[in-house]
Amino acid sequence: MESVILFVFVIGYLLIALEHPVKINKTATALVTGVLCWTLFVISEPGHQLLSNESYLNFIEQAKSKTTGAILHDTQQFHTEFVSESLEHHLAEIAQILFFLMGAMTIVELIDAHHGFRFITNIIKTRNPVRLLWIVCIVTFFLSAVLDNLTTTIVMISLIRKLIPNKETRLFFAGMIIVSANAGGAWSPIGDVTTTMLWIGGQISASRIITSLLLPSIVCMVVPLIYLSLTMKSEIGSATAASPEDEVHPGSGKLMLILGLAVLLGVPVFKTVTHLPPYLGILLGLGILWIVSELINPDLDEAVRKKYTAAHALGKIDMPSVLFFMGILLAVSALQSMAMLTEFSAWLDTTLKDNRLIISLIGVLSSIVDNVPLVAASMGMYSMEQYPVDSMTWHYLAYCAGTGGSLLVIGSAAGVAAMGMEKIEFIWYLKNISWLAAFGYAAGALVYLATIP
């Protein structure tokens, strides 16, 4: 049955990649793939991966010890219980990501509703596409290290929508925002979920990961950026004239922009101080911004004021992208619960033996399979006794897992968010951005390997 589930997973990814030729929405495909993987998992007999998995065997033994009589020999029921508990565990993790995503999207939409981004767009006067590309990428790179690559991508995609009316040019900017956000998140302990996992797990320290990966991450962004700077011939386009409806807006844009960015910046602080999950921080920030949006501009007509409320912003967030992300994570979590990812990582260790080659490959795989379970499997595969804190293995894993997701548009949370917001086609990204991201990924990896003691 493992082969059948893997086949369903691969077919699902192919249909997502070929969304436009087959004319099936990627969200529908992702949801069906995720649910099918778990359904086949629960009705199947335990495979050899599970039967050799220590956590699964421990679960079965504990379940048997709590039962008596005929149920003692009902292995399938124990298997069903294991699958149900695994699904609940993964759903809790997925829900955190989805709530974070929805909260960040709503905050950005609320700022945009009050025309807060106009203060930034008014500062950026250049109409030169190359100069603007460098400005956008540099801002994205450092902002993603402070916030996270997902939130930064949402903010920056919203920004370029105001700056670049030309759709073709905007797609290239969006592609480089994905590359820059993932590169910026890799060197910060709070910039990417995988780096945060290693930081919380004790494999890396904040100061050493910054000094170790800052230069490789910059190279990862700059290499494709230089090429696009030399070859880009597109125009930004003329800004569309504001409609009369857009001209009727409150003077609260600056307040909402400052407060919105403040609550986004406060999320990592909230997590550090309280040790609570980041989604609680983003929901707290959304609640604060919601209250402020209700209190300001009390003199506006009720019909006009409605457009500037959080309730209206919630209606504008891209829910299909959220559900697409959910489907992808469900499918991957099924493979993880079946111990297929762990077994594959162990096979790599036995076959390739060179950690640098294995971790480089993990980075490439993170563009296909979510990097979170890959890093989780790697953390279980390598012990702290063998590889102590801040060893090359952990730092290189943080770089590869963080930046490798840029190789495909569905390989990272930043890519998925940009794909939904800008309707980036999988094949377009593959033709125009993937190979540039691959050169940046390889160049940054070589710089890191050349600079380690």
Place of tokens 């000094």: 211
Q: Is 56 exposed, middle or buried (0-12, 13-18, 19+ CB in 10 A)?
A: buried
Question: Does residue 424 or residue 245 have the better pLDDT?
Answer: 424
How far is residue 242's CA from residue 251's CA, in Å, rounded to a whole number? 16
Position 223 scores a pLDDT of: 95
| Averaged pLDDT for residues 237-248 | 51
pLDDT above 70 covers a percentage of the chain that reads 85
Percent of the chain residues past pLDDT 90, beyond the cut: 21
Taking the mean position of all CA atoms in its chain, how far away is CA 169?
Answer: 23
Q: Which long-range contacts (CB under 8 A, 24 or more apart) does 387-393 make?
A: 387/203, 389/202, 389/203, 389/204, 389/205, 390/203, 390/204, 390/205, 390/208, 390/209, 390/212, 392/355, 392/452, 393/355, 393/359
Where residue 72 falls among pLDDT bands split at 50, 70, 90?
Answer: very low
Q: Which two tokens stand for residue 296?
A: 């300001």
pLDDT for the residue 396 = 93
- Report the range of poorest mean pLDDT among 3-12, 27-36, 53-62, 148-157: 53-62
Burial class (CB in 10 A: 0-12, 13-18, 19+), 383: exposed
Bigger pLDDT: 146 or 67? 146
Q: Model confidence over 393-436: pLDDT tens digits?
A: 899 999 998 999 899 887 887 888 888 888 888 889 999 999 99
Contacts of 149 (CB under 8 A, 6+ apart): 181, 182, 184, 185, 191, 192, 402, 412, 413, 414
pLDDT at position 320 over 60:
yes
Q: How sure is the predictor about 329, in pLDDT bands with cuts at 50, 70 and 90?
A: confident
pLDDT, tens digit, for every residue of 76-118? 677 787 888 888 888 887 888 788 878 888 888 888 888 777 7
- Encode 244-269: b = buried (16+ Cβ within 10 Å), e = exposed: eeeeebbebbeebbebbbebbebbbe
Distance separating alpha carbons of residues 36 and 1, to the nearest angstrom: 12
Q: Say if residue 70's pLDDT is above 50.
A: no
Q: Write down the pLDDT at residue 439.
A: 95
Please say if the pLDDT value at position 49 is more than 70.
no
Gap between the Cα atoms of 341 and 427, Å rounded? 26
In contact, 219 and 141? CB cutoff 8 Å:
no
Mean pLDDT to the nearest integer, 373-377: 69
pLDDT digits (tens, 9 = 90+) for 267-289: 778 877 888 887 898 899 999 99
Residue 149 has pLDDT above 70, yes or no: yes
Rg (CA), the chain: 23
Query: How many Cα atoms sit within 13 Å of 215 on the Cβ side?
Result: 10
pLDDT, the chain, mean:
81
The highest-confidence range among 262-266, 387-391, 402-406, by mean pLDDT, is 402-406
Statement: residue 143 has pLDDT above 50: yes
3-class secondary structure, 301: coil
The dihedral through the CA atoms of 208, 269, 418, 340 has a sign that is positive
More confident residue, 313 or 64: 313
Most confident of 6-15, 51-60, 122-131, 381-390: 6-15
Burial class (CB in 10 A: 0-12, 13-18, 19+), 73: exposed
Distance CA 7, CA 22 (A): 18
Rounded to an integer, the average pLDDT of 364-386 is 73
Tally of residues, the chain: 453
Per DSSP, the three-state class of 338 is coil
For the cut 60, the answer to whether the pLDDT of residue 46 exceeds it is yes
pLDDT at 9: 87
Task: Give 250's DSSP letter.
Answer: -
* The one-letter amino acid at 302: E
Kindly give, in sequence order, each residue whose CB lies less than 8 Å from that of residue 5, ignoring residues fewer than 6 positions away.
37, 40, 41, 44, 334, 335, 338
Tell me, what's the pLDDT at 367? 84
